[in-house]
Structure 1
Amino acid sequence: MAIQYSRPLVQVILVGIILLLTSGMFNALNGMGGGGQLDTTVASNANVALYTTFSVGGLVAGGVVNIIGPKYAMAIGGTAYALYAGSLLNYNHNKNDSFVIAAGALLGLGAALIWTGEGAIMTSYPSEKNKGKYIGIFWGIFNLGAVLGSIIPLALNWNSKEGSVNDGTYIGFLVLMGLGSLFALALLPPSKVFHKDGRPVAVERFPSWSSEAIEIAKLFLDWRMICLIPMFMASNWFYAYQFNGINGFYFNIRTRAFNDVWYWAAQIFGALIFGRFLDTTRFDRRQRAIFGLVILFVTFMATWIGGLIFQLTYKRSDKVTPMDLFDRGYAEKCILYIAYGLNDAMFQLYAYWIMGALTNDTAQLSRYNGFYKAIQSAGGAISWRIDAVGTAFLPQLLVCWMLLVASIPGAMVVALSIKETNYLKEKDNNVEKPSTGDSKAGDVTDSEAV
């Protein structure tokens, strides 16, 4: 069967490729600790700038995406990733902290655009019975970028005795990130994307800036968004601790890259499996929301208990000889790091899924995703600043863990409010109930078929 470019699944896959080349590569670079630099402080300060502007940009990005469309928003946002890689290349020669921090600030604005556009597409294009599957497919493709991106520094720095990666690593990232920005121009506008039965996924409304500002302001009065703030806040908080406090501090450069490969590979596996569970027809949608949250709680509690045991073996003030992947005792530390990656994918996938369960409207999901990224990035800015000022690792771990636990009650309240379908409620808003053939569980129809 010929693949139709206007099908939702094709567009979601394309979005995955765009994020693979941009944010996926950034994650590979960032995941090595300090952006691959010996001194992690400059990258931590750049991340503070990045997440600060990301937080502010996220609040308005939903309106921008609704007005100019996800294609142009993501293309513009993608260019900032290449600039950031270039700033680290420059730092290898000139030690120019200011350029890296400024590039990080611009990247925050670009990331707000690219992630809000991605979120709106990923949560609104699939039909309700496929949202977990589609989010899982996207997350798998996106993190394949981080896996491949981690192989670049692993291969180029396998025999390196330096504390930072070489120029070729940054040049490779720069080129790939630039390609991601160009690929965004291949996206179709939402009004030209159709399900198999001919239903459009959305109707473009071309709202005014003033109406968008009002709708964004209303998010702060939406009790569901308020309940999800702890989950949004916690969802990126742990990166500073995991990337700098564990990977960047404890391991040598090639082992950091090797850990990165497995961290992001675990995310692919976790997203695909958990996404399938959130779409299972064995339980109704509210039950899936509740059971999914219980699974999240159990997995991150087990993982962070293991993390605490490991963290009690060293302090930030220790003069640690960086561990190599062939050293005795490395395997169990690698398994822990893999578990952290698995947790990350499941936690963020659930956040996207539960937003997608609240509505099918593309414009509203743009705002939800912008709000999510704003709160998430505010948390990220705080956590990277905590690391940049030299906070001990044990308190960082405990705060990460506490925030994850604190996210469960609010998410449970929202989970209990989930309805089996939003199609009937939203029929008057041009989001129609699927045809009879699409409504049968397990059919390979609608947006599943390409």
Structure 2
Amino acid sequence: MGPEGKKLLNIVILGFGFMFMFTAFQTCGNIEQTVLKSFNSTDFHGSGYTSMAIIYGVFSASNRIAPSVVTVMGPQFSIFFRGFLNSGYIAMFIYPYTWSFYTASVLVGVGAAVLWTAQGNVLAINSSENTIGRNSGIFWALLQFSLFFGNLYIYFAWHGHDHITDKDRQTVFISLTVISLVGCFLFFLIRKPDPEPAANEAAESLLQADSTESCSGACKMFATPEMLLLSVSIGYTGLELTFYSGVYGTCIGAMTRFGHDAKSLIGLSGICIGIGEILGGGVFGMMNRCSRFGRNPVVLLGLVTHYAAFYLIFLNIAPDAPIAPEGGTDLQAFISPSVGVALLCSFLLGLGDSCFNTQLLSIIGFTFHDNSAPAFAVFKFIQVTPPLQSIMAAMLLIMVLTGFLGSVTFFLAEWRAESSRRESDYDSI
């Protein structure tokens, strides 16, 4: 197998490892608030929303040290380290205690910063200017299969259940823990690519640099014009990730007007999100050079798709659904609640998210190829935001405004990237 074949194999292994790991973790995040509301214990006082706030808050704070950790541990072991912490967090739900729940949330937040910094470094090392778009799409599509498989399991396991029993909870989380551990050990199959003059030396500069320089490099990169332009787009993906992964599924499960199968619809919603993500990753990851406009048409499509989803959600979901008690809500929004509309919105949320994320992975991997790990650390620092426990209409309005500004700034960053590439091509001639 040639050098390019080895690099492509590494990307595929990376994608499959993340698929297994996040089949467990994303499914856990999608159902945890619903599970905890059904947990019958007077000694437990945890909240899934609070846990997510801790995870993303620690995640954000830890991104400053993540490049240094990856420098010391190496990207491969860094990814395994986070996967092992994920497994511990999921296993905690087999029988949760308040102290273990929030302690695990802190540890997962620390590990998440290391994970995504290392992932970005592996992606850049195994990609070139010509393959970064393809590899980003392959990785994203494989990663998003996690939403499909995990939520399909939840749909069938909880079909017809009005209440989640202790046995239901334990069976699900034992299975998810095993799946997460399988993903962890897949990362040891990744092999270091064959060195190439100039290319891999630059991409691996982080791993040969001093830890202090790696940390300060991330801070300096944050202030570059390219990253400042992209920061609004990145921040928007953090907002909508929070919404579709932790809030929207809870809203669907709380809608009593959807019938006694509302809880199982959480899994079906996750499947629809996953289908949108997989379709977007498989198609739009390949479209970076589809026209002279580069990545911009895909980002614009993502914005329009999300706007359609936000409008339909506003009409279809009751405003108190995110904070409804375990029994759910009987309120109605502006139209008669429709399961079909709710699942269509799930698909649109996933499709729009893939439009933004595949293009962000591509442009960051291209623009900061020579210093990829600090760049992806900054990317995740900007992206992670504490979950918002606000009225849904207000949250949707925030995402509408941020999505518009993020798209405009992405277009400017893409224009700068294309100008830089053309100048580089001219100089080489």
**Structures share fold, TM-score greater than 0.5:** yes
1:49-73 per-position Cα deviation (integer Å, ceiling 9, x unaligned): 1101111222221232244321111
Q: CA deviation at 1:39?
A: 5.9
Deviates further, 333-342 or 18-27: 18-27
Q: Which of 214, 221, 226 in structure 1 is aligned with 2:223?
A: 221
Kindly provide the amino acid, as one letter, of the partner of residue 142 in structure 1.
L
Alignment pair present for 1:276 and 2:286:
yes
What residue is the counterpart of 2:188 in the other structure? 185
Aligned residues: CA RMSD? 3.1
Q: Is the Cα contact below 8 Å between 1:4 and 1:10 reproduced in 2?
A: no
Q: Is the Cα contact below 8 Å between 1:129 and 1:279 reproduced in 2?
A: no
Deviating beyond 6 angstroms after TM superposition, the runs of 4 or more aligned structure 1 residues are: 3-6
Percent identity, aligned pairs only? Answer: 14
What residue is the counterpart of 2:364 in the other structure? 355
- Give the whole-Å Cα distance in 2 for the aligned partners of 1:106 and 1:241: 22
Alignment pair present for 1:365 and 2:372:
yes
Q: Is the Cα contact below 8 Å between 1:151 and 1:258 reproduced in 2?
A: yes
After TM superposition, list the pairs within 5 Å mapping 1:224-263 onto structure 2.
224-251=226-253, 252-263=262-273
What residue is the counterpart of 2:294 in the other structure? 288
Deviates further, 401-410 or 334-343: 401-410
What residue is the counterpart of 1:74 in the other structure? 79
- Give the whole-Å Cα distance in 1 for the aligned partners of 2:224 and 2:242: 30
1:346-379 per-position Cα deviation (integer Å, ceiling 9, x unaligned): 1111211121231332xx11111111111111x2
- Give the whole-Å Cα distance in 1 for the aligned partners of 2:372 and 2:422: 15
Kindly provide the amino acid, as one letter, of the partner of residue 185 in structure 1.
F
- Give the 3 Å change call, closer, same or farther, for CA 67–422 of structure 1 in structure 2: farther
- Give the 3 Å change call, closer, same or farther, for CA 5–347 of structure 1 in structure 2: closer
After TM superposition, list the pairs within 5 Å mapping 1:421-436 onto structure 2.
none
- Give the 3 Å change call, closer, same or farther, for CA 27–141 of structure 1 in structure 2: same
After TM superposition, list the pairs within 5 Å mapping 1:166-177 onto structure 2.
166-177=169-180
- Give the 3 Å change call, closer, same or farther, for CA 125–422 of structure 1 in structure 2: farther
- Give the whole-Å Cα distance in 2 for the aligned partners of 1:245 and 1:145: 18
After TM superposition, list the pairs within 5 Å mapping 1:266-345 onto structure 2.
266-280=276-290, 283-284=291-292, 287-311=293-317, 313-316=318-321, 320=329, 329-345=338-354
Q: Which of 210, 213, 226 in structure 2 is aligned with 1:211?
A: 213
Q: Is the Cα contact below 8 Å between 2:67 and 2:215 reproduced in 1?
A: no
Kindly provide the amino acid, as one letter, of the partner of residue 148 in structure 2.
V
- Give the whole-Å Cα distance in 2 for the aligned partners of 1:194 and 1:225: 28
What residue is the counterpart of 1:61 in the other structure? 66
- Give the whole-Å Cα distance in 1 for the aligned partners of 2:375 and 2:200: 17
- Give the whole-Å Cα distance in 1 for the aligned partners of 2:309 and 2:416: 29
What residue is the counterpart of 2:16 in the other structure? 17
Deviates further, 114-123 or 2-11: 2-11
Instruction: Provide structure 1 residue ranges, at least 5 long, that are not aligned to the other structure.
Output: 427-432, 434-450
- Give the 3 Å change call, closer, same or farther, for CA 54–310 of structure 1 in structure 2: same
What residue is the counterpart of 2:130 in the other structure? 129
Question: How many residues align structurally?
Answer: 402
Partner SS state of residue 238, structure 1 = helix
- Give the 3 Å change call, closer, same or farther, for CA 220–26 of structure 1 in structure 2: same
Q: Is the Cα contact below 8 Å between 1:74 and 1:113 reproduced in 2?
A: yes
- Give the 3 Å change call, closer, same or farther, for CA 242–143 of structure 1 in structure 2: closer
Q: CA deviation at 1:235?
A: 0.8
Kindly provide the amino acid, as one letter, of the partner of residue 12 in structure 1.
I
Kindly provide the amino acid, as one letter, of the partner of residue 284 in structure 2.
F
- Give the 3 Å change call, closer, same or farther, for CA 299–158 of structure 1 in structure 2: closer
Q: CA deviation at 1:424?
A: 8.7
Kindly provide the amino acid, as one letter, of the partner of residue 166 in structure 1.
R
Partner SS state of residue 357, structure 1 = helix
- Give the whole-Å Cα distance in 2 for the aligned partners of 1:175 and 1:202: 37
What residue is the counterpart of 1:90 in the other structure? 95
- Normalised by the length of structure 1, the TM-score is 0.81
- Give the whole-Å Cα distance in 2 for the aligned partners of 1:56 and 1:4: 37
Partner SS state of residue 141, structure 2 = helix
- Give the 3 Å change call, closer, same or farther, for CA 175–321 of structure 1 in structure 2: farther
What residue is the counterpart of 1:393 in the other structure? 392
Partner SS state of residue 407, structure 1 = helix
Kindly provide the amino acid, as one letter, of the partner of residue 224 in structure 1.
E
- Give the 3 Å change call, closer, same or farther, for CA 26–149 of structure 1 in structure 2: same
Kindly provide the amino acid, as one letter, of the partner of residue 184 in structure 1.
F
- Give the 3 Å change call, closer, same or farther, for CA 410–200 of structure 1 in structure 2: closer
Q: Is the Cα contact below 8 Å between 1:271 and 1:349 reproduced in 2?
A: yes
- Give the 3 Å change call, closer, same or farther, for CA 310–123 of structure 1 in structure 2: farther
- Normalised by the length of structure 2, the TM-score is 0.84
Larger helix share, 1 or 2: 2
Q: Is the Cα contact below 8 Å between 1:25 and 1:146 reproduced in 2?
A: no
- Give the 3 Å change call, closer, same or farther, for CA 61–193 of structure 1 in structure 2: farther
